[in-house]
A and B are shown apart, each in its own frame.
Chain A
Amino acid sequence: MESVEKPRVRVVGEEKVKLKKSFVKPWMGIKYLFKKPVTIKIPYEKIEPAPKYRGFHTLDWKKCIGCNFCGQICPARAIEMTWIEVDGKVEKRPHPKVDYGRCTFCQFCVDVCPTGALGHVENYYLTTAGLEEDLQLYDWVPIDPKKVRELNEKFNDYRFPVERIKFNKETKEVTYYLRDGTEFKFKILGYGLKPPAAAKPKPAAKPAEKPAEKKEEPKSKEKKE
């Protein structure tokens, strides 16, 4: 046991790292006066975000099976499952709704998604005014990735693909006004993992299995508050 080697730590002598004070050397700093500034003139020049920059989410509505893995892993609890009716047809499974007021863009939800339905694009630019109807924009069910890429090719400025979101409280109809002028409409029937009354008739048998996962139930109730 005595033969345990001492960890060899190399210490550089202080005289090697200590700099001499100088009166003249600071004048070297002036050399940058005639060099080109390294600034990027943002309104006129563009920067490309990294190819897998963690930006806004996309959701393939055909692939999402409503397993709520994303909602469980989300550290900010920004994901809430939502029951949706598109063109009069109730989706069999709930879809995640992301609240960008809380989302930290860690994209754990993308990693955990078993079917690969939830993904992300490089778009990161989202600014609104403080009005109530503008703030609707921060709470959305992500749209299809193909649509987002199409919008990116058209505008290429990495903004949020939706310009305005209108939520009708009576009919619960949500309208996304996309940036190229098309509208995307659906209805929100309810939140949480339990199917709401409106969604019941068809998929009654399947969500009945769900309450077995009791852990989620209190969570979804908390969110409603």
Chain B
Amino acid sequence: MIDWKLILEAIGILIYATFMGFIFMGIERKAMARIQRRIGPPIYQPIIDTLKLLGKKESVSHGFIYDFGPIFALGATITALLFLPVANFQLFSSNADLIVVAYLLEVPMLGIMLGAMSSGNPYSAVGVQRGLLTMVAMQLPYGLALIAIVQHFETFKLSEIVALQSLNGWSILVPALLLAMIVFDIVFQAMLGLEPFDIITAPAEISMGPMVEYGGKHAAILFTQHAVQLFAETTFFTILFLGGASNLLELLIKQIAVLFIAIFVASIYPRFTIDQAAKFFWKWPTIIGIIAVLLTM
């Protein structure tokens, strides 16, 4: 039988996540504008942008894979979202959903790369090469942070991690996990494509990186994907380190707190070059991550 309740819940979470993701994007632009002493666009601006992109008449396509890439990325993000315990709703859960979510949050980048490579634009090629190198570089500290979490809680289930944190206090209160949080926060910046590690898109350097050929509806899908991913990643951060949330308001406050740290870091540090980023990821975050893992043993 089709579980209608599950389907409705999934659609509800999806709509909420997309809307809030767009609002987060708006907050990001607004806060960055205020740090630069500008007023900035209204907070709902990304929604208008996406609607405008959806209203474009022509959409260039370079073949099946080019169309498939953004959809693949969006699908992966949505799947990651459905595995996350958003407040009290967790739609799917398995024994090791931490790993599932951690890797599903990486897959969208692969989807974008897949589509971008088939466009045949040299800027896309450079962007993809940089993106994959960043991904490779950030896997090591990312993995170490997750290992520290898993070793401390001795479980792979996200819902259990939330439950344990509500019993014993947030995980950032544990010194070892605080280190893990610092590592995760650095990686987080790269996962969101924000400033010190926005080498993938690198506006003004390689015109838009992988997204250089995307326009119209493809770009609208990528915008939506970014919004959902922003929501999913902030939720993931909240669940792992800030003790999850029992209702949507609490979740929202914690998500915005996470987002603001990311915005602050993004608005004050300049961009790394790709070799500096790879060196950086394998130096400081890795060292801190190893210490965190050793402390949790």
Which residues of A (32-86) have their CB < 8 Å from a CB of B?
32-33, 35, 37-39, 41
Are B34 and A33 neighbours in the complex by a CB distance under 8 Å?
yes
A37:B264 contact, CB within 8 angstroms: no
Interface centre among A26, A27, A30, A39 (most CB of B within 10 A): A30
A26 cross-chain contacts in B, Cβ below 8 A: 268-269
* CB-contact partner of B35 in A30, A38, A39, A41, under 8 A: A30
Interface residues on A, range: 10 to 19
> Does B267 count as interface, using CB distance less than 8 angstroms?
yes
Is B5 on the interface with A (CB-CB < 8 A)? no
Contact A29 B39, beta carbon cutoff 8 Å = no
Docked complex Cα distance between A35 and B37 (Å):
7
Q: How far is the CA of A32 from the CA of B268 in the complex (A)?
A: 12
Closest to B269 in A: A26
Contacts of A27 in B (CB 8 A): 264, 268
Give the CA-CA distance A183 to B36 in the complex, in Å. 48
B279 contacts A by Cβ under 8 Å: no
Q: Which residues of A contact B36 (CB under 8 A)?
A: 32
Complex Cα distance, B37 from A38, in Å, reads: 6
B50 to chain A, nearest CB (A): 25
Cβ B267 vs Cβ A29 within 8 A: yes
Roughly how many angstroms separate A206 CA and B268 CA in the complex, as a whole number? 72
Contacts of B268 in A (CB 8 A): 26-27, 29-30
* Nearest B-chain residue to A39, judged by Cβ: B39
How far in angstroms is the closest Cβ of chain B from A35?
Answer: 7
CB distance from A216 to the nearest CB of B (A): 50
CB distance B38 to A39 under 8 Å? yes
Contact flags (1/0) for B254-269 with A, using CB distance below 8 Å? 0000000000100111
Taken together as a complex, chains A and B put the C-alpha atoms of A27 and B266 apart, in Å, by 11
Chain A residues lying within 8 Å of B37, measured Cβ to Cβ, are 32, 35, 37-39
User: How far, in whole Å, are A32 and B39 apart by their CA atoms in the complex?
Assistant: 12
Distance, CA A208 to CA B151, complexed state (A): 104
Q: Name A34's closest neighbour in chain B (CB-CB).
A: B34
* Chain A residue with Cβ nearest B34: A33
Q: Which residue of B lies closest to A26 (CB)?
A: B268
Evaluate contact between B35 and A37: CB separation under 8 angstroms: no
Q: How far is the CA of A55 from the CA of B35 in the complex (A)?
A: 35
**Which chain B residue lies CB-closest to A27?**
B268
Proximity bits, B109-145, A CB within 8 Å = 1, else 0? 0000000000000000000000000000000000000
Q: Residue-by-residue, is B11-26 near A (CB-CB < 8 Å gives 1, otherwise 0)?
A: 0000000000000000
B31 touches A (CB below 8 Å): yes
Bound-state CA distance A33–B28 (Å) is 12
A29, B195: Cα distance in complex, Å: 15
A33 to B34, CA, bound (A): 5
Answer whether A33 and B31 are a contact pair too, CB < 8 Å, given A27-B264, A39-B38, A39-B39.
yes
A39 to B33, CA, bound (A): 11
Q: Which of B1-56 contact A (CB under 8 A)?
A: 31, 33-39
Q: Is the CB of B38 within 8 A of A37?
A: yes
Chain A, 1-46, CB within 8 A of any chain B CB: 26-27, 29-30, 32-33, 35, 37-39, 41
B264: A residues at CB distance < 8 A: 27, 30
The answer to whether B34 and A32 have CB atoms under 8 Å apart is: yes
A118–B248 CA distance with the chains assembled, in angstroms: 69
Measured between beta carbons, the chain B residues less than 8 angstroms from A41 are 39
CB proximity of B287 to chain A, nearest CB, Å = 15
CB distance from B219 to the nearest CB of A (A): 28
CB of B185, distance to nearest CB on chain A (Å) = 15
Chain A residues within an 8 Å CB radius of B31: 33
Give A27 to B268 CA distance when docked, in angstroms.
Answer: 6
Within the complex, the shortest CB–CB distance from B88 to chain A, in Å, comes to: 33
Given contacts A27-B268, A32-B37, A39-B38, 14 further A-B contacts (CB under 8 A): A26-B269, A27-B264, A29-B267, A30-B267, A30-B268, A32-B34, A32-B36, A33-B35, A35-B37, A37-B34, A37-B37, A37-B38, A39-B37, A39-B39
B residues apposed to A, CB below 8 Å:
31, 33-39, 264, 267-269
The contact sample of 23 A-B pairs, CB cut-off 8 A, is A26-B268, A26-B269, A27-B264, A27-B268, A29-B35, A29-B267, A30-B35, A30-B264, A30-B267, A30-B268, A32-B34, A32-B35, A32-B36, A33-B31, A33-B35, A37-B33, A37-B34, A37-B37, A37-B39, A38-B37, A39-B37, A39-B39, A41-B39
Which 6 A-B residue pairs are closest in the complex by CB-CB distance? A26-B268, A29-B268, A39-B39, A37-B39, A38-B37, A37-B37
